[in-house]
Amino acid sequence: MIEFLSALDQILSIGHLTYLITGVLVGLVVGIIPGLGGIAGMSLLLPFLYGMEPSVGLGMLMGLVAVIPTGDTFTSVLMGIPGSSSSQATVMDGFPLAKKGQAARALSAAFLSSMIGGVVGAIVLSVFILVARPVVLAFSSAELFMLTLLGLSVVAALSGGNLYKGLAACGFGLLVGTIGGAPATGEFRFTLDIDYLYDGIPLVIVGLGIFALPEIVSLLVKDTAIASSKNKLGHGLGQGFKDVFANLPLVGKSSVFGSLIGAIPGLGGSVVDWMTYSFALNSSKDTSQFGKGEIRGVIAPESANNACASGSMIPTILFGVPGSGSAAVFLGGMLLLGIQPGVSMISTHLDLTYTIIWSLAMANILGAIFCICFTRPISLLTYIKFSILTPIILTLILFAAYQATRSLGDFILLGVVASLGILMKGANWPRPAFLIGFVLSSGAENYFFQSIQFYGTSWFSRPGVIIIAALIVIGFVLPPILKKRKEAKLADASDAEKAVAPAEEKQTMSYADLAIVAVFAVCGGYALFDVWDMAKLTRSFPIIAIAIVLFSVVMVIFKSVREKHQMTAAGLTPNLVYIAGFFGIAYGYYLFGFICTTFVFSLVFLRLIAKASYIKSTTIAVCLVIFLVTLGRVMHVDYPEGMFDEYLLNAIRLIV
Amino acid sequence: MKKLSTLLGASLLSFSCLVAAPIQAEETQVPSTINWTIPFGVGGGTDVWARFIAPHLTKNLEGNPTVVIKNQPGGGSITGTNLFYKRAKDNGQDILGTSASTLFPFMLGDKRVRYNFDKWLPLMASPTGGVVYVQPNLGVKSAADINKLDGVTLPFGSQGPTRLELPVLIAFEMLGLDVKPVFGMKSRGAGRLAFERGEAKIDFQTSSAYLNSVVDLVNNDKAVPLFSLGVLNKEGKVVRDPAFPDLPTFQEVYFEKYGKQPSGEAYEAYSKFLAAGFAFQKVIFIPADTPSDVIAAYRKGINAMLKDPTFIKESAVQVGPYVNVEGIDAAQHLSNALNISPDLYKWVAQWLKTKFDYTL
């Protein structure tokens, strides 16, 4: 108890607060710029970190790590670009809200829920950390496997009424996730002898390709502002707060759930947002607005992801095993400060642990307040004609993608995934199902084989496994029952019909559907052929994924043959033209140099296609260059140098 | 072909060191900014090691250059190392930090490897050690009771057959232990968690991880240390690890059990991978075409750094009480380790195939 209060006293000192705020500001900037994540922020802070007083250094680090899931909401909501893996679910409803002109509402609700989530996470952490060791150890590979199944079961809720499409997408995600080294043997699968694929496909690329680019392309085709309808809710800030207070139970549940999932090492925070999203979906009376701008779809994942960041400190501090990417960054910082994680953190260094927890709570509060201050001016961006924003957004996306592995492969793969994303968006296939399959693929495979090898067949009788299995069953059985009861309660029959509206869409079939079915079937067939001769442990899991894909594809075809349907044009030709253009431009960024191409492309695009004035075009292009150069210098970020960048940078160095 | 080039590379490496070393320094500057490529992510072992050394390098190198650490992760360090091989400038501005997972794929002829150590000189190498320990409920109190483990299946959480655990897996086999590796652990830390859960019955950690996380377990009777991997002395002989002077080395345990010194192809493979993975776990390389006076300036700086009492003190805390190897010693031992004869390569490939169904 004394440690608890003395730690509070310590972090409220001026020196500590100053560093904490520095950490928070860096964390916000890093969170706002998509693709950077905690690692870039660390590289900025590290030079100061070395030799720092541990408690002060920890505060600064915590400030950085805690607010990344707060800051990344900006691009998720405003531009449909998931700022980091923890805010992918936010895009689902945040971006449609922005399109409705309610960006400020979505953002303020998101920030307030982030703040509450973070603080709840800190409270859970402060109590739980003292007893967490046995609990964390109780989660063996068998329980972790069941948790990945729990994550996968979310797909059913997110399939929007067409289970087979959802299953096919999820199975394809699982299959794509198996590219690279097989965890059980170390052998490589589906690499096509391309170096890039040996590591597997980076999550950033999949997130950007499947969500961000398709949205941007379709906005470009429409060429209006992001907010296509005028906002009727004033600036919306107050409305966002009201939304959060109206949904406090959801915020509370999501936060606690998020921090507990974060506390289990090995699962990572990348699915917790989807799990809470589906939780919000299942527990809502009216589900018709989900995916079209439902504020509960923003509140749930945003509460969970900050809480998850707090929870992931438990395995980091107690076991030195990071629970997420940013926790890994934090761990590296701890080691540099000369602090060793382990049991000593709750025996001899309890004061440091409480410093971490207080800093965590403080950082979440400060981060949310800073963000809320900026919400109004920044959300005005959504009223600008989209073609003006295009060069900026495209540069940001390419920048984010390039940070994944810093090779041309990032751009190519982004284009490929985006093509799939456009088809899936056009034909109304559930994109989150694909993403969830992809994210959970390696965990599911790895923990399955590990539990079999450690426990043989007896793993299924472990109590933890049975409990989670029961949870999964409840997740399947309960929502339909609740829904039926609700429908029975609703006297108005037309409302009930609205809830099952997607049923109508099933009857149309477009060329995009055919294309997706063909892609899935061909890839599945090829994968089967490729993996057939490999070692048993290498091929088993991909074959399961292939079976899911092929079975679901057959069912989709079977259904469309049996049911009457209308053949419609996909109307995606202009979108695909833009994607072809994307490949060209992305290659230009690589070939000629990132910064030069940013400048030339922005100028030409703004002047000729967006028809902006010379002054406006030049200003935007110059600002982008300044932004990139500054980022490169301050955070040591690398860009593709291409042919001309070296000369440009040398020239700039001469002037500045 | 790969094996041949390995051989050639290693011999060229040692040769070029002998040629390059004696040339004396003139007053040539190390560039004012040094880009230190680390082919791993931020916060990983090699990154932390580099960030610990960087300020000391700045302090001890002539002109106190800024050392910028460039992380280039991917392919378990192959990607970043390939890029360095292709692009590094040879004016002293670019240096590279590697780890076991950079050397192993090279030795095993991984087809993604495009680098070759003939173009680089090692400036310094940081060794580490490692300790093998088991669950206390097996009735084993120390390595002397190792016969009690005969016939007991020992699950072991491992990252993969060709990862850092490779020499340890060979050691297990030589000792006749029935170790059943469960692959796919995300890190050695994850393997330790499996041990703490009781899933794994045997585990192994490098020195710093052992000191930080396992000593506590040992003191609370939750783990029993068996043996250390030992360290190489100046003559290239294995001696007891200074961090664990009470623990016998693998060689001692082997002698105890079989009454003879370990030998044969398995032991040769063990020794090579042990040297590359532990004795030279972290190496700083510089392109060999760098002007010899610049290299001499680097050597002088590193020599001064290794003698600097603050460095020695902090280094003992960060990586353990090990003596860093520098200059010609580093080049000599390293080229010995990397030099895998075609026969030995065949043995390793065969062993991986029969034991783990892993195709090189």
Residues of A within 8 A of B200 (CB-CB) are 454
> If DSSP states are collapsed to H, E and C, what string results for chain B?
CHHHHHHHHHHHHHHHHHHHCCCCCCCCCCCCEEEEEECCCCCCHHHHHHHHHHHHHHHHCCCCCEEEEEECCCHHHHHHHHHHHHHCCCCCCEEEEECHHHHHHHHCCCCCCCCCHHHEEEEEEECCCEEEEECHHHCCCCHHHHHHHCCCEEEEECCCCCCCCHHHHHHHHHCCCEEEEECCCCCHHHHHHHHHHCCCCEEEEEHHHHHHHHHHHHHCCCCEEEEECCEECCCCCEECCCCCCCCCEHHHHHHHHHCCCCCCHHHHHHHHHHHHHHHCCEEEEEECCCCHHHHHHHHHHHHHHHHCHHHHHHHHHHHCCCCCEEHHHHHHHHHHHHCCCHHHHHHHHHHHHHHHCCCC
Residues of A within 8 A of B359 (CB-CB) are 187, 535
- Nearest-CA neighbor of A201 among A170, A219, A175, A222? A175
CB A538 within 8 A of CB A185: yes
Q: Please say whether the dihedral angle defined by the alpha carbons of residues B294, B299, B300 and B306, taken in this order, is positive or negative.
A: positive
Q: Are residues A638 and A547 in the same domain?
A: no
CATH code of B195's domain? 3.40.190.10
Classify each residue of A467-490 as buried b or exposed e, where b means 16 or more C-beta atoms within 10 Å of its C-beta: ebeeebeebeeebeeebeebeeee
Q: Are residues B189 and B269 in the same domain?
A: yes
Q: Is residue B352 part of a domain?
A: no
Residues A299-346: tens digit of each pLDDT: 999 999 889 988 888 888 888 887 777 787 788 888 878 788 887 788
Bridge partners (DSSP) listed for residue B122? B285
Residue % of chain A over a pLDDT of 90: 29
How many structural domains comprise chain B?
Answer: 2
pTM: 0.86
CB A324 within 8 A of CB A312: yes
Residues A427-484: tens digit of each pLDDT: 889 988 999 899 889 889 989 999 888 988 888 888 889 999 998 888 778 777 777 7
CA distance B345 to chain A (A): 18
Looking at residue B283, its pLDDT comes to 92
Q: Is residue B359 part of a domain?
A: no
* DSSP assigned state of A341: P
Q: Is residue A478 part of a domain?
A: no
Q: Is residue A464 part of a domain?
A: no
Looking at residue A560, its pLDDT comes to 83
* Distances in whole angstroms, Cα of residue B313 to Cα of each of A285, B7, B321: 64, 38, 9
Query: What is d(CA B131, CA B168) in angstroms, rounded to the nearest whole number?
Result: 10
Q: Are residues A219 and A269 in the same domain?
A: yes
CB A322 within 8 A of CB A108: no
Inter-chain touch B356–A185, beta carbons under 8 Å: yes
Inter-chain touch B358–A39, beta carbons under 8 Å: no
Query: What is d(CA A644, CA A588) in angstroms, rounded to the nearest whole number?
Result: 11
pLDDT in tens, chain B (360 residues): 444 444 444 444 444 444 444 444 445 578 888 999 999 877 778 888 898 899 899 999 988 998 988 888 888 889 889 989 988 988 999 999 999 989 999 999 988 899 988 889 999 988 889 999 999 999 899 888 898 998 899 999 999 899 999 999 999 999 999 999 999 888 888 899 999 989 999 999 998 889 888 998 999 999 999 999 998 887 778 899 999 999 999 999 999 999 999 999 999 999 999 989 998 889 999 999 999 899 999 999 999 999 999 998 888 877 778 888 877 777 777 888 888 999 999 999 999 999 988 888
Helix (H, G, I), strand (E, B) or coil at A510: strand
Looking at residue A154, its pLDDT comes to 84
CA distance B235 to chain A (A): 33
Inter-chain touch B43–A328, beta carbons under 8 Å: yes
Residues A576-631: tens digit of each pLDDT: 888 999 999 999 999 999 999 999 999 999 998 888 899 999 999 999 999 999 88
Measured between CA atoms, the residue of chain A closest to residue B188 is A321
Q: Is residue B103 part of a domain?
A: yes
Q: Are residues B122 and B137 in the same domain?
A: no
Query: What is d(CA B113, CA B131) in angstroms, rounded to the nearest whole number?
Result: 30
Structure tokens at A382: 């959504």
* DSSP assigned state of A509: E
What pairing do the DSSP bridges indicate for beta strands A508-510 and A566-568? Answer: parallel
Helix (H, G, I), strand (E, B) or coil at A125: helix
Q: Are residues B164 and B136 in the same domain?
A: yes
Residue A320: φ, ψ to 5°: 70, 20
Most confident of A287-291, A300-304, A491-495: A300-304
Q: Which residues contact B323 (CB under 8 A, 6 or more apart)?
A: B127
Average pLDDT of A522-526?
94
Looking at residue B25, its pLDDT comes to 41
Domain that holds residue B139: 130-274
Query: What is d(CA A582, CA A559) in angstroms, rounded to the nearest whole number?
Result: 35
Mutate to test the interface with A, among B199, B210, B211 (most CBs of A within 10 A): B199
Q: Is residue A490 part of a domain?
A: no
CA distance B22 to chain A (A): 35
Q: Is residue A251 part of a domain?
A: yes
Looking at residue A39, its pLDDT comes to 67
Residue % of chain A over a pLDDT of 70: 93
Q: What angle do CA A456, A458, A460 make, to 5 degrees?
A: 115
Residues A175-233: tens digit of each pLDDT: 999 998 888 888 889 988 888 888 889 888 998 899 888 888 888 888 777 776 665 54
* Distances in whole angstroms, Cα of residue A337 to Cα of each of A20, A278, A314, B314: 15, 40, 18, 12
Query: What is d(CA B27, CA B291) in angstroms, rounded to the nearest whole number?
Result: 12
Of residues A341, A450, A636, nearest to B182 (C-beta): A450
CB B163 within 8 A of CB B101: yes
CB A121 within 8 A of CB A306: yes
Name the residue with higher pLDDT: B72 or A40: B72
Q: Concatenated DSSP letters for A154-217?
A: HHHHHTTT-HHHHHHHHHHHHHHHT-EE-TTT--EES-TT-HHHHT---HHHHHIIIIIHHHHH
Q: Is residue A473 part of a domain?
A: no
| CB-based burial label for A184 (10 Å; 0-12, 13-18, 19+) | buried
How many structural domains comprise chain A?
Answer: 2
Residues of A within 8 A of B182 (CB-CB) are 449-450, 453-454
Helix (H, G, I), strand (E, B) or coil at A575: helix
Domain that holds residue A187: 2-224+236-454+501-566
Q: Are residues B202 and B160 in the same domain?
A: yes
Count CB atoms within 10 A of the CB of residue A388. 18
Q: Is residue A631 part of a domain?
A: yes
Residues of A within 8 A of B49 (CB-CB) are none
Looking at residue B24, its pLDDT comes to 43
Query: What is d(CA B76, CA B99) in angstroms, rounded to the nearest whole number?
Result: 10
Looking at residue A490, its pLDDT comes to 63
Looking at residue A545, its pLDDT comes to 95
Q: Are residues B162 and B249 in the same domain?
A: yes
Q: Are residues A597 and A645 in the same domain?
A: yes
Of A139-143, A506-510, A521-525, B185-189, least confident by mean pLDDT is A506-510
Inter-chain touch B212–A319, beta carbons under 8 Å: no
Residue B239: φ, ψ to 5°: -130, 170
Measured between CA atoms, the residue of chain B closest to residue A142 is B199
Q: Is residue A287 part of a domain?
A: yes
Q: Are residues B134 and B264 in the same domain?
A: yes
Looking at residue B23, its pLDDT comes to 43
Inter-chain touch A332–B47, beta carbons under 8 Å: yes
Residue B72 sits at the chain A interface (C-beta within 8 Å) = yes
Q: Are residues B138 and B257 in the same domain?
A: yes
Q: Are residues B83 and B40 in the same domain?
A: yes
Mutate to test the interface with A, among B34, B38, B46, B51 (most CBs of A within 10 A): B51
Measured between CA atoms, the residue of chain A closest to residue B316 is A338
Residues of A within 8 A of B48 (CB-CB) are 332, 335-336
Mutate to test the interface with B, among A144, A347, A403, A406 (most CBs of B within 10 A): A406
Residue with tokens 């059913």: A156
Query: Is pLDDT of A505 > 70?
Result: no
Q: Show which of B274, B307, B334 is a domain's final residue.
A: B274
Measured between CA atoms, the residue of chain B closest to residue A446 is B184
Q: Are residues B246 and B290 in the same domain?
A: no
Q: Are residues B224 and B309 in the same domain?
A: no
Residues of B within 8 A of A183 (CB-CB) are 183-184
Query: What is d(CA A234, CA A101) in angstroms, rounded to the nearest whole number?
Result: 10
Looking at residue A119, its pLDDT comes to 93
Q: Show which of A548, A566, A584 is a domain's final residue.
A: A566
Mutate to test the interface with B, among A50, A135, A188, A195 (most CBs of B within 10 A): A195
Query: What is d(CA A178, CA B26) in angstroms, rounded to the nearest whole number?
Result: 55
Of residues B75, B180, B199, nearest to A141 (C-beta): B199
Residues of B within 8 A of A186 (CB-CB) are 160-163, 183, 356, 358
Name the residue with higher pLDDT: A557 or A494: A557
| CB-based burial label for B27 (10 Å; 0-12, 13-18, 19+) | exposed
Q: Are residues A87 and A12 in the same domain?
A: yes
Residues A100-122: tens digit of each pLDDT: 888 889 999 999 999 999 999 99
Name the residue with higher pLDDT: A158 or B25: A158
What value of ipTM does the predicted structure carry? 0.82
